[in-house]
Chains A and B, each alone.
Chain A
Amino acid sequence: MRTVLRVENLEKFYKTKGSITKAVNHINFEVEEGEYIGIMGASGSGKTTLLNCISTIDHVTAGHIYINGADVTEMKEKTLAKFRREELGFIFQDFNLLDTLTGRDNIALALSIVGEKPKVIDRKVNTIASALGVQEIIDKYPYEMSGGQRQRIACARAIVTKPSLILADEPTGALDSKSAGMFLETLGMMNTKMQATILMVTHDAFTASHCKRILFVKDGKIFSELVRGADTRKEFFDRIMQVVSLLGGDKSHAV
């Protein structure tokens, strides 16, 4: 298996009046091709900062991040743009679809930014839409869709360019439990059927229980790691809950 992501001694500090907050403090881990990895932690644990650094949205204080062997911490803005469009796919908590565009155009835009030929764009959009079951809603505008529908359009947009790594930031945070369930099935399908490598940040144990491996972050450091192995989702969820209670997490998130 090829290593898609390698994080080495990553540090991210914030300076506020007189004190330094170590949001990410010496984190090391690797993600291999085809993995579906979750990062869990309470709010303020540094998990979103970690994701922002990996996704090139934020700059690191020290350390290195290699995606497909390339060090993104050394890249300039222009190369970063090229890198983002070719190697990364994004799914956000608040969807971040462009509301001036229909679902179809939102997906197509990702392809035109990569420079795909106009002829194949339509075909690719249709293929991915039927794979994710969003053909019915694809010609609506984002404000005409439900949260779950929007998030699945965002999935389609993230995977249509066949990126090396899909990054999801609290993707179920704004969804009700039914939509969240449907969305997570879609994400799981993308991982198993379409061989997408997914890194997801969440604080929700139910969401996390869909992953194959979970890293727990506390105070900017990796606290422990769980691998699903042959467990059913329910068994894995119970194991996650044990770690969460150890972390002093909030049990009310357990669905």
Chain B
Amino acid sequence: MLFKRRISKKVFRQLASKNVRKSAKDYFIYFFTLTFAVCLFYTFNSIGAQFAAFDIPDTLNYLSAAQGAMAGVSVLVCAIIGFLVVYANRFLMKRRKKEFGIYSILGMERRDISRILMKETVLIGGFSLIAGLVLGVLASQGLTMITSKIAGVGLASYSFIFSPGAMAASVIFFGLIFLFVHIFNVREMKKMKLIDLLYADRKNEEIPEEKKSALLKGILSIMFIIGGYLLIHFLSDRDLFKILGAGSTMIGIGTILLFFSIAGVLIKFLKNRKKFYYKGLNLFVVNQLGSRMKSTGFSVAVVCILMYLSVSIMGIGMGLGQSSMSLIGKTAPYDLSVEYYFDGKGGNDAAVEQSGIKNELEAKNAKLSSYIGESEEINFYVSENLNMQELFGKSAQGNQKMQKLYKTGNVWYVGLDEYNKLRTFQGKDAISLGDDEYAITYNEPEAKAVLVKFEEQGDTTLSIGNSNLNMKEGGIYSATLYNMNVLSDIATIVVPQKVTEGQKPYMRIMDANYEGNASDAYHALLDDMLKVKGFDYSSQKDIQIQIMSDKLMATYIGGYLGITFLVTAGAVLALQQLTQSADNKKRYNLLYKMGAGEKAMKKSLMTQMLFYFGLPFLVAAIHSGFIMAGVYRTIPYLTGADIARNILLASGLAVVLYGIYFITTYSGSKRILKL
């Protein structure tokens, strides 16, 4: 123990803090990235506190589901950040090999060096944790504004939001990351030999062998990428997420191949253009890029992949969110819908059929009864002999999504009188039918085209109940028959009321608006949900919350992952370039000695940086453009302006964050090369 205290703590602390302070510029990207990560982590995990602040009820646990999803994504984000931190740390360790060598030479033990490292990690980690949390608390106020906008609640009940849970989670998660980093550092330290530490910069660089297959790889890569584009474009309405996954993977493989081959192809091309090649420092730049891209092609490809994933995820997330949001009002036009299924399980089929849901609720002493104002009820019948596929399958051909929707289930029908009452309830005109006519009602917008096609193909006579009915000319109407969370009514047949007589209904619905205090009514509903069994209740408010939480989740997860990917991409590229600049010191020194001007050298550095940052950015922009164009075709209910705004927002964020990394890297490299 006496041995351990040999070097005074003070010296250690001083060394560590001096190192951090003196190499603050080296640490800047590390610090910036960590701070940003902590900020992001806290902000997105604080949504629980935001919901609480707005007092949004979470009866059906949608909000906690959103929160849970956020926590799940956070684990993924943490894994990514953890990888990034280790990568960044390796860069810093590499820059400091010699320093550690000198410590060893002066007789410091590895254990003591590890302690210095730990002190530095704690210092940097602590600072970035605190800075990140402060920023996060501020940023979460901003996010609260967005949440309030999405949730459609005013800022009246807004107060300063602070989430102790998110804070604790940030501290624990990042504490773990730092611990992990430290263990990694100690292991690295143990592996290194003193002679390698001291003479790290004298090692000769090994240049990977020239590969002849560059052109072949290039062609293959283009094929993969185009294949991915086509896949997303033509098949994404079949199964969005599966196809998107497959398409992105193909594009990813293509991108990796592209970055492996592009250097070889480009350099061959440029070397043959002597006029360009021998001008200024072009010769140096071209060869420099050539030799570097061979060894770093993979990581640049990864950066590019992260970028297009990021922009696509952000853009698509926002789009999905808006899409679901535009439904509120259309999907749930009534304050409340109460469903009853005549399957014997409800326990009082006869009573409901006879006196209706409203009376039955009263009979059961439901608190809700006293709040029900205007209400209408409607019976649904299922046709035994007609199924959707047979009836509409042919008409749905050509639209993958619709084809799938019409694949299963029997045809449902309702009586005209009850249907008209509902229409009037919604402020729509009543419709009329001849005795042997039927009409079709729907609420899924894309179904209309199928139904119109069905009418056009001519053979529209149906046998329902005991009658044969013909379709009323132009008898296609849109109406939402009861509250649902999505527009899922692709066709319900409306028949003359007498056709339903004597048929056994499958389900009965009561649609109602509240009377009196809506909030009291909602609380009565919550009570009845638990106590008055046999009915399914779907209130507008719950559906709104569900849709809202869907939007929140899609938008926030998109943003969260997107920004994480962006930061990772930027940081990886930045660190890689800084490492290269450190390695290039001798080369630039030599150029200087050979008489190259400072201006020319700056220009050559800028060209290389632009190439390194610009190429993956350009490729990613093209990729995400194609992916988003493909995906937005399949997201319903969005206007062109919405889409344009999403894409601009996502790509704008990408440009800003990426730009920060580019500028930092360029000035950092200039400093390292003393230009």
Q: Which residues of A contact B (CB under 8 A)?
A: 52, 55-58, 77-78, 81-86, 88, 90, 96-101, 105, 109-110, 112-115, 118, 157
Interchain CB contact under 8 A, B107 and A112: no
Shortest CB distance A156–B (Å):
13
Contact A113 B7 (CB under 8 A): yes
In Å, the complex CA distance between A114 and B98 comes to 20
CB distance from A70 to the nearest CB of B (A): 14
The secondary-structure label for the interface of chain A is: helix
Q: In whole Å, how far is B2's beta carbon from the nearest beta carbon of chain A?
A: 10
Q: What are 16 A-B interface contacts by the 8 Å CB criterion?
A: A52-B195, A55-B105, A78-B110, A84-B106, A84-B107, A90-B105, A96-B101, A96-B105, A100-B19, A100-B22, A112-B7, A112-B8, A113-B7, A113-B103, A113-B106, A118-B10
Please tell me if the beta carbons of A57 and B194 are within 8 angstroms of each other in the complex. Answer: yes
Q: Are B98 and A96 in contact (CB under 8 A)?
A: yes
Q: Is A96 within 8 A of B198, CB to CB?
A: yes
CA distance in complex: A61, B110 (Å): 23
* Chain A residues, Cβ within 8 Å of B104: 81, 84
For the complex, give the distance between the alpha carbons of A103 and B19 in Å.
Answer: 15
Which residues of B have CB within 8 Å of A90? Answer: 105-106
A115 & B7 in contact (Cβ 8 Å cutoff):
yes
Inter-subunit contact A85/B106 (CB<8 Å)? yes
Q: What's the minimum C-beta distance from A151 to chain B, rounded to whole angstroms?
A: 15
Query: When chains A and B are docked, how far (Å) is the Cα of A52 from the Cα of B202?
Result: 15
Task: Assess whether B18 is interfacial by the CB under 8 Å rule.
Answer: yes
B599 interface hit (Cβ, 8 Å): no
CB distance from A55 to the nearest CB of B (A): 8
Q: What are the residues of chain B within 8 A of A109 when measuring CB–CB?
A: 11, 15, 106
Out of A58, A85, A101, which one reaches B107, CB within 8 Å? A85
Q: Please, which residues of chain A bring their CB within 8 A of the CB of B109?
A: 77-78, 81-82
Q: How far is the CB of A23 from chain B (nearest CB, A)?
A: 12
Inter-chain contacts of B8 with A (CB < 8 A): 112, 118
Cα–Cα distance between A99 and B102 once the two chains are bound (Å):
11
Question: Is B449 engaged at the interface, CB distance under 8 Å to the other chain?
Answer: no
B107 touches A113 (CB 8 A): yes
Query: In the bound complex, what is the Cα–Cα distance between A112 and B195 (angstroms)?
Result: 23
In the complex the two chains form, is B195's CB within 8 Å of A115's CB?
no
Chain A residue nearest in CB terms to B102: A96
Q: Inside 8 A of B467's CB, which chain A residues have their CB? A: none
Q: Which residues of A contact B198 (CB under 8 A)?
A: 57, 96
Interface: B99 (CB within 8 A): yes
Residue among B98, B105, B106, B195 having the largest count of chain A Cβ atoms under 10 Å: B106
Chain A residues with Cβ under 8 A from B11's Cβ? Answer: 109, 112
B179 interface residue (CB < 8 Å to A): no
Q: Choose among B10, B18, B105, B110 the residue that contacts A100 (Cβ–Cβ < 8 A).
A: B18
Question: Which residue of the partner chain B has the closest CB to A167?
Answer: B105
Smallest Cβ distance from A169 to chain B, in angstroms? 10
Residues of A within 8 A of B101 (CB): 96
Complex: A82 Cα to B210 Cα, angstroms: 47
* Nearest CB of B to A78, in Å: 6
Question: Across the interface, which residues of A come within 8 angstroms of B23, CB to CB?
Answer: 100
Question: How close is B601's CB to chain A, nearest CB, in angstroms?
Answer: 20
On chain A, the residues within 8 Å of B111 by CB distance are: 78
What residues of B have a CB within 8 angstroms of the CB of A99 in the complex?
Answer: 22
Q: Which residues of B contact A77 (CB under 8 A)?
A: 109-110
Interface string of B90-104 (1 = CB under 8 A from A): 000000001101111
- Report the minimum CB–CB distance from A37 to chain B (whole Å): 20
Chain B contacts for A114, CB-based, 8 A: 107
Chain B interface category by residue count: 20 to 34
Assembled-state Cα–Cα distance A84/B106 (Å): 6
A82 near B110 (CB under 8 angstroms)?
no
* B6 close to A (CB within 8 Å): yes
Interface centre among B107, B109, B194, B195, by most chain A C-beta atoms within 10 angstroms, is: B107
Any A CB within 8 A of the CB of B60: no
Is B6's CB under 8 angstroms from A84's CB?
no
Instruction: Determine whether B648 belongs to the interface, using a CB cutoff of 8 Å to chain A.
Output: no
Residues of B within 8 A of A (CB): 6-8, 10-11, 15, 18-19, 22-23, 98-99, 101-112, 194-195, 198
Chain B residues whose CB sits within 8 angstroms of the CB of A98 once the complex forms: 99, 102
Bound form: Cα–Cα A112–B108 in Å:
10
Interchain residue pairs A-B with the least CB separation, the first 4: A85-B107, A100-B22, A84-B107, A115-B6
> Given the complex, which residues of B lie within 8 Å of A97, measured CB to CB?
102
A81 neighbours in B (Cβ, 8 Å): 104, 107-110
Q: Which B-chain residue is minimally distant from A83 (CB atoms)?
A: B107
In the assembly, what is the distance between CA of A38 and CA of B6, in Å?
A: 35
Residues on the A chain within 8 Å of B194, using CB: 56-58
A56 to B193, CA, bound (A): 11
Nearest-neighbour CB distance to chain A for B274, whole angstroms, equals: 38
B108 and A113 contact, CB distance less than 8 A: yes
**Chain A positions within 8 Å of B7 at CB level:** 112-113, 115
Which residues of the other chain, A, contact B102 by a CB distance below 8 angstroms?
96-98
Task: Indicate if the CB atoms of A57 and B110 lie closer than 8 Å.
Answer: no
Cβ-defined contact, A110 with B195, below 8 A = no
CB pair A110 B110 closer than 8 Å = no
Interchain CB contact (< 8 A) of A101 among B18, B98, B105: B18
Instruction: Across the interface, name the chain B residue whose C-beta is closest to A49.
Output: B195
Pair A57/B195 contact, Cβ less than 8 Å: yes
- B22 and chain A: residue at smallest CB distance: A100
Assuming A57-B195, A81-B107, A99-B22, what are 16 further A-B pairs, CB within 8 angstroms?
A52-B195, A55-B105, A56-B194, A58-B195, A78-B109, A78-B111, A81-B108, A84-B105, A88-B107, A90-B105, A98-B102, A100-B19, A105-B18, A113-B7, A114-B107, A118-B8
CA distance A57 to B112 in the complex (A): 18
- The answer for the CA separation of A97 and B102 in the assembled complex, in Å, is 8
Could you tell me the distance between the alpha carbons of A50 and B468 in the complex, rounded to whole angstroms? 107
When C-beta atoms are compared, the residue in chain B nearest to A117 turns out to be B8
Taking CB atoms, residues of chain A closer than 8 Å to B105 are 55, 57, 84, 90, 96
Q: From residue A106, how far is it (CB to closest CB) to chain B in Å?
A: 9
* Smallest beta-carbon distance A53→chain B, Å: 10
Nearest residue (CB) in B for A90 is: B105
| B2 (CB) vs chain A CBs: closest residue | A115
Chain B nearest CB, measured from A65 CB (Å): 15
User: Which residues from chain B contact A157 at a C-beta distance below 8 Å?
Assistant: 106
Task: State whether A110 and B106 are in contact (beta carbons under 8 Å apart), knowing that A96-B98, A115-B7 are contacts in the complex.
Answer: yes
B333 CB to nearest A CB, Å: 70
Which single residue of chain B is at the shortest CB-CB distance from A169? B198
A86 touches B195 (CB 8 A): no
How far, in Å, is A96 (CB) from chain B's closest CB?
A: 5
Chain B residues in 8 Å Cβ range of A55: 105
| A52, A84, A105, A110: residue with the most chain B Cβ atoms closer than 10 Å | A84
CA distance A57 to B23 in the complex (A): 27
A118 to B107, CA, bound (A): 18
Is B107's CB under 8 angstroms from A82's CB? yes
Q: A157's closest neighbor in chain B, by CB?
A: B106
Q: From residue A213, how far is it (CB to closest CB) to chain B in Å?
A: 25
Q: How far is the CB of B664 from chain A (nearest CB, A)?
A: 21
CB neighbours (8 Å) of A88 from chain B are: 107
Bound: A85/B3 CA distance, A = 14
Complex CA distance for A114 and B106, rounded to whole angstroms: 9
Which residue of chain B has the shortest Cβ distance to A56 in the bound complex? B194
For the complex, what is the distance from the CA of A56 to the CA of B111, rounded to whole Å?
18
How far, in Å, is B512 (CB) from chain A's closest CB? 75
Contacts of A96 on B, CB cut-off 8 Å?
98, 101-102, 105, 198
Give the shortest distance, in Å, between A113 (CB) and chain B (any CB). Answer: 5
**A110 to B102, alpha carbons, bound, how many Å?**
10
Contacts of B107 in A (CB 8 A): 81-86, 88, 113-114
Give A127 Cβ to nearest chain B Cβ, in Å. Answer: 19
In the complex, what distance in Å separates the CA atom of A88 from the CA atom of B99? Answer: 18
